[in-house]
Amino acid sequence: MKTRAWHVLGALGAAVALTACGEKPQTGGGVKYDAPPYAGTGSNFTSPDWKAGDAGSWEQKLKTRMQYGQNEYNRVR
């Protein structure tokens, strides 16, 4: 009788442990943008070189940021 109780408790514990590891459905659907990212932020805290609405200026700022701000090799030199 005791071994059966231990088996039942073990099976119950395993079932609880496995249900805790299950993946919940992701219903958020992601972020949807109404405008392209270079269209502007509506904020005063932007770079003075960047012109809102100009895709070329946006790409140039991203390229500069990647080269000088996020490239550790250039920062250490």
> Which tens digits make up the pLDDT trace of 41-71?
777 777 777 777 888 888 888 888 877 776 6
Give the per-residue pLDDT at 62: 84
pTM (global) more than 0.75: no
What's the longest Cα–Cα distance across the chain? 79
- Say how far apart CA 19 and CA 49 lie, in whole Å: 53
Q: Is the pLDDT of residue 26 over 80?
A: no
What is the residue type of 47?
A: S
